[in-house]
Chains A and B, each alone.
Chain A
Amino acid sequence: MGEPLKRTPLYDLHRELGARLVPFAGYEMPVQYPTGILAEHAHTRTAAGLFDVSHMGQVRFTAKLGQNAAKALETLVPGDIAGLQPGQQRYTQFTNQTGGILDDLMVTSTGDHLLAVFNAACKESDLAHVQKHLAAACEIEPMFSRGLLALQGPQAAAVLARFAPQAATMKFMTGAFFVIDGARCYITRSGYTGGDGYEISTPADATDAIARKLLAAPEVKPIGLGARDSLRLEAGLCLYGHDIDTTTTPTEAGLLWSIGKERRIQGGFPGAAIIQRQIAEGAPRKRVGLLPDGKAIAREGAEIALAGKVVGKVTSGGFSPTLGRAVAMGYVERAHSANGTKVDLVVRGKPVPAEIVPMPFVKHAYYRG
C-alpha cells in the first residue's frame, strides 16, 4: 500500500448518492452511482450529467515582469498558446525530446493569466516539469485543492443558465469568470464527452454547495468515471496512459489539428524535429477507429492482425451504449491504416473481424454559436 487515498471536496456527496468508490490516480473516486454506467451514459447523451473531476490538476500561470507566459509555455507544448485571445481555450500536449506525449492538457487565457488543466495521474510530474522549465518566466500556482465539475449533455446549457445566464451563449472552447452561489468560478464550454457542456472550476469550500444546486435540477444526474470513459471512447477522444503516452507522438495519435500552422513550421517545442519530419513524411503508425463485427468486445491490449500478421494493438475498446455495439481504437502501421481496411482483432486468442473506420463513433455536438 502506498499513501492513503485523497478525497475531492465532493467525497461526502458521493457517499450520500450511493456511489461505488474506487482508487483512481491516488483519489477515491466514484466509478458509478446506483443506476449504473449504461443509464448514466444515456442520461449524459440525452439530458445532463454532473461529473466530479476535481482530481484533475488546475494550475495558474502568470507572467513575471517583462515576460510572456504564453510564449514560455509554447517551449513545452506544440499548441498555439501565444495566439489565444482572452477567454479562448485550447487543447495541447506536453511533449518530450522524442516527440512523445508527457500529458495532454487544456489551456485557457483569462487575459491576465493562463489556466491549465492537467490529468490527475500526471499532475505532480507536470507541475515539476513546468516548474523546472518555466519558473524564470512565470509564477506557477498549483490550485490542486480547487473543485472541478463537468456538466455535460444537451441540457447542460439550459441548466447552467439558471445560475449563470451568460454561460448559455458561450462558444465551445471559451471561458469566463462567473459568480455562482456567491462563489467566483471559472467556466469553460468544454468537456470530455464529445457533447455540449461545461467545466466549472470552483473554490474548494463552495464545490459541494454548487454541485448540490446543479444536481437539484431535474435534468441533472451524477455520473461516474465508468460512463466518463464510455462517453469519451464514443467521441474518439484519447485517454492519457492508454491511447497516448511517452511512446506516441501527436502525429501518430491524429492530434495534428491541435498544432498551430505556424508552430508546425517554426517548431520550438520538445521533439519538434521528429514531429515535423512525421508531418512531412508520414508517421510510422496511426491511431485509428475500429468497428468489430458481432458482439465480442476487443479491449486494450488486443492485437490487430492482417492476414495473420500483427500490424497493431488496441489501446481502448469497449461497449458503446449509444451505438449498442463494441467499438475500439488503436494504433496500426501506416501502410494498413486506411479507412475501410479489414483487420482482425485478437480477442481471447480468437480473431474477430473488424474494419478501420473514421472517428468519432458518435458525432460531436459542440456548441459553436
Chain B
Amino acid sequence: MADTKYTQEHEWIRVEGDVGTIGITQYAQEQLGDVVFVEVPQAGRTVAKGEACAVVESVKAASDIYAPVSGEVTEANAALADSPGDVNAEPMGKGWFFKIKLADKAELAGLMDDKAYDAFVKSLG
C-alpha cells in the first residue's frame, strides 16, 4: 500500500517500494494560484533532502520545490511542460512533479502523515 507523507513546505511524497512520487499539495496550489510553468529536475540527478530541485511559477511568482527526501531522480513529469494547469487541477494526481529513488527510507519518519499535515494546514489559518 502506498504511503503518503508531507513536508512543512507543502510537498507530498507517495512511496511505493523504494520509489517516491513527489508533488505539491492542494493547499499549496490554492496559495500559488494559476500555475503557468514548472521546471522539473532531470532524471539521474542526485538530490539531498531539503534541496531546491524544481520550480513552480504561478502568474504572480516563482516558488522553489524542495526534495522531501534524498535520492536519485528517476523520472520527471514531462506532461507538465504543456499542461502546467494539471498542478492546479490535480495536485496529487496527474500534477505530480518527479519521482525519486530513496537513498534512505528512514528520512520518511521525519515527515508528516495525512492527519498531522491536515492539522498543520489548519494551524496556518
Chain A contacts to B: CB under 8 angstroms: 31-32, 36-39, 41, 226-227, 229-230, 295-297, 299, 318-319, 321, 326, 348
Contact = CB atoms under 8 A, between A and B. Distances in A.
Contacts of A319: 36-37, 57, 59
A229 B59 CA distance: 10
Contacts, number: 41
B62 to A, nearest CB: 7
Indicate the size class of the contact surface on chain B.
10 to 19
A295 B59 contact: no
**Which of B57, B59, B62 has the largest count of A CB atoms less than 10 A from its CB?**
B59
A32 B61 CA distance: 14
A283 to B, nearest CB: 31
Contacts of B88: 36
B81 interface: yes
Interface in B13-38: 33-34, 36-37
B111 interface: no
**Nearest 10 pairs of A and B residues by beta carbon:** A319-B36, A38-B34, A37-B59, A36-B34, A295-B37, A297-B57, A37-B34, A319-B59, A36-B33, A37-B33
Nearest to A35: B34
Interface string B33-64: 11011010000000000000001011111100
Nearest to A32: B33
Nearest to A41: B59
A38 B62 contact: no
Given A295-B37, A318-B59, 6 more contacts: A36-B33, A41-B59, A296-B39, A297-B37, A297-B57, A321-B59
A301 B58 CA distance: 17
20 contacts: A31-B60, A32-B33, A36-B33, A36-B34, A37-B59, A37-B60, A38-B59, A226-B33, A226-B59, A227-B59, A230-B59, A295-B37, A295-B81, A296-B39, A297-B57, A318-B59, A318-B60, A319-B36, A319-B57, A321-B59
